[in-house]
Structure 1
Amino acid sequence: MNILRLQILVLIERLRKVTAVADELGMKQPTVSFHMKKLEEEWGMPLFEMKTGKVMLTESGKLLYQYAEGIDRLYREAQERFASYRRQGKHQFVIGCTDAASSVLFSGNWYRLAEEASTLQINLITDQTNRLLEQLHTGKLDLIVFGDSPLYERELQGCQSELLLEDRLSLFTTKSHPLLDAQQGGTASSYLLQGQSYVKLADPSIEEAVSSWFAKEQLKLSSPLSTDRIDLALNAVRAGSLLALLPSSAALPLSGGILRLPLPGQQQSWKLVAAWRSDYWNPVQQQRMVALLKELPKLQKTADSK
């Protein structure tokens, strides 16, 4: 199998012209045509055809493309990883996480603490859970961190997961909110919350936890605003008219007049988990990283107390 020839097939599908593929690869047109012919000989079927002045993939070419595109993507990712290793002298470890996970786990001086405890070059990216899972399965990410939810059971097939921490939901508000004028003893009662407006965090794990708590307390709150970022949710709270229901440690340290109050009635937990592919190439390294992520909250508390 020749990687270059598979790359040519992928580029033909995208560019539809041999000259454009040659320019993209920095090669001469006859060289590209030669490799296209050799690729057809290798697979024993016509893979390319001319239509209205463009080079198109045949049905067989489209079938091979499904595999070639994945091989090309993985090959490029391997090139990037090795290039990073040559530059940094460290292997790159790519962690994907949701915004909620980053606010809870990767706050404060987390990177300095992680850098001291790890010999890896850590690359942290954020995205929605479903897209993180897709990137995990394709090998673009080494590990993902997200809020636990039954919604992802199917997508987690072929993966291992581990609980990193369990947090409680809290009520975030400001001193100027009308709720504070009516409450007594520093804790808002359920009946005072009835009918209030809150900003919804568009994270399935948090939405499920909030809905579960609403059901337990028989509450109904309106939600005129939704966002997938905790910082934007807290900005809305600072305006004084909205509440937020978030993991307790999602907004530490508190600033800008934000108050964090315990939820009235039954407490509601939220779980943060890490997941990685079961066939990950270095399971020992993976376990070390998971252990480090578990220790991060403790390390941050210790550093903050000094």
Structure 2
Amino acid sequence: MNFIKLEVLVLISKYNKVTTVAEKLGIKQPTVTFHMKSLEKLLGITLFEVHGGYTVLTEPGEVLLHYANKILKLRDEAERATSEFSLLKRGSFKLGASYVPSTYLIPEVLKAMKKDYPRLEISVTSSPSSSIIQMVLDHELDAGIICSMEVHNPGIIYKKIYQDELGLVFSPNNPLVGCEVLEKQDLINKTFVHHSKVSSTRRLVEKWLEKNKVYFASIIQLDSLESIKHILMSTDWISIISKKAVEEEIKRGKLIYRELPEEPIERDIYVVYNKDRWLSPVMKKFFEAF
């Protein structure tokens, strides 16, 4: 199939230079101009204008751009899905995951998939759950693994694969180590290490803290879970972290995990995919891994 006219439109919107578009596509500049004029003739409307040496899209061009992006993403998805039927089982699979699943669940899944599809190219994108959902909706990802969100998108299929628990984590040198069962007052006026604001974990933690009226002497924010774990090891600070994320540190005696007082924080982890996505052999193999 020939999608080059739509590719020209998308690249013009990005670079605003015919010469740059020609370079990106590996074709000559007159060929790019031909496809621009051909697309305008086909639709009977002006899509491109030149202003100050830059080529820009007209308002109808911007409307077409919206659909061109969708069409090209669907094309890429279709190519990935159909490529799996070649005799050599080649192809690609694009997976997205929020931090905890990408670090602590995906490695075993990838090993299982590569066993049956050794020539399959697999890419993993790590982003917050909300970003993964949007990328799945936009057909930029074949599937995702996310931590639970309060509202499920109707355009997404959700399959629960794991229930995660969050608890209090601190160093073995922290005075709290002597408390097998924590009370709310044990947490008050401590230095607390928070997750980044885009983290779904942070939203759950903030909701729990507000409900239980737990306040800290000071709060430190770190963007990386690994950074949080390392700083807890060397201080008497505390944090609320996924139990799955600290399993190895607990085994090695580097960190201590305690259940939260009053009520636990539990969240589901889901495999997600676009409801319009065809379940290819690779997709089915992916689901079998859970």
- Give the TM bin, normalised by the shorter chain: 0.7 to 0.9
The aligned counterpart of 1:112 is 111
Quote the residue 1:289 is aligned against: 286
CA–CA distance in structure 2, aligned partners of residues 118 and 11 of structure 1:
33
The answer to whether structure 1 residue 271 and structure 2 residue 268 are counterparts is yes
| CA displacement, residues 202-249 of structure 1 (integer Å, 9 cap, x when unaligned) | 365423432444355442235522234321110121121311211212
Deviations 1:269-302 (A, max 9, x none): 2221221111111177545533422xxxxxxxxx
Please list the CA deviations of residues 120-167 of structure 1 after superposition, one character each: whole Å capped at 9, or x if unmatched: 6543221112221121111121111111121x43xx221111221112
* Contact kept? 2:17, 2:55, Cα under 8 Å: yes
Aligned to 2:146: 146
Give structure 1 stretches of 5+ with no counterpart.
294-306
Residue in structure 2 matched with residue 163 of structure 1 by the alignment: 160
Q: For 1:23 and 1:91, locate their aligned partners in 2 and report how far apart those are by CA, in whole Å.
A: 26
In 2, Cα distance between equivalents of 1:50 and 1:268: 57
Compared CA separation, residues 282 and 80, structure 1 to 2 (3 A): closer
**Which AA in structure 1 matches 2:90?**
K
How has the CA–CA distance of structure 1 residues 117 and 228 changed in structure 2, closer, same or farther, with 3 Å as cutoff? Answer: farther
| Distance change (3 Å), C-alpha of 1:57 and 1:205 | closer
Name the counterpart of 1:239.
Answer: 234
* Contact 2:165–2:242 under 8 Å retained in 1: yes
Percent of pairs identical after alignment?
24
Structure 2 unmatched runs, 5+: none
Structure 1 counterpart of 2:10 = 10
Q: CA deviation at 1:196?
A: 1.4
| Cα distance in 2 between the residues matched to 1:78 and 1:284 | 13
TM-score using structure 2 length: 0.82
Contact between 1:117 and 1:292, CA under 8 Å: does it hold in 2? no
Pairing 1:1-306 to 2, within 5 Å after superposition: 2-75=2-75, 89-106=89-106, 111-116=110-115, 121-150=121-150, 152-153=151-152, 156-180=153-177, 183-184=178-179, 186-202=180-196, 204-215=199-210, 217-222=212-217, 224-254=219-249, 255=252, 257-282=254-279, 286=283, 288-293=285-290
CA–CA distance in structure 2, aligned partners of residues 103 and 266 of structure 1: 26
> What residue identity is the alignment partner of 2:242?
P
Distance 1:22 1:149, change over 3 A: closer
Separation (CA, whole Å) in 2 of partners of 1:110 and 1:216: 36
SS in structure 2 of the partner of residue 266 of structure 1:
coil
RMSD (CA atoms) = 3.2
Higher helix share: 1
Q: How much has 1:190 moved relative to structure 2?
A: 2.5
Provide the C-alpha distance between the structure 2 equivalents of 1:216 and 1:61, rounded to a whole number of angstroms: 50
Within 2, Cα distance between the matches of 1:179 and 1:76?
53
1:253 alignment partner, SS class? helix
Q: Secondary structure at the match of 1:264?
A: coil
Q: How many residues align?
A: 286
**C-alpha separation between the residues in 1 aligned to 2:74 and 2:109?**
30
Q: TM-score, normalised by structure 1?
A: 0.78
Letter of the structure 1 residue corresponding to residue 157 of structure 2: Q
- Look up the equivalent residue of 1:112 and give its one-letter code: K
Distance between the aligned counterparts of 1:2 and 1:114, measured in 2? 32
Aligned CA distance change for structure 1 residues 213 and 106 (closer, same or farther; 3 Å): same
What is the CA–CA distance in structure 1 between the aligned matches of 2:25 and 2:113, rounded to whole Å?
Answer: 39
Paired residue secondary structure (2:9): helix
Counterpart residue identity of residue 255, structure 2: I
The answer on whether the counterparts of 1:169 and 1:269 sit within 8 Å (CA) in structure 2 is: yes
CA distance in 2, matches of 1:275, 1:44: 40
In structure 2, how many angstroms separate the alpha carbons of the residues matched to 1:75 and 1:15? 22
Q: Deviations over 1:75-108 (max 9, x none)?
A: 456667778998973343322111122344236x
Cα pair distance change 1:24/1:233, threshold 3 Å: same
Contact 1:103/1:251 (<8 A) preserved: no
Residues 1:196 and 1:13: Cα distance change in structure 2 (over 3 Å):
same
- Conservation of the 8 A alpha-carbon contact between 1:104 and 1:251: no
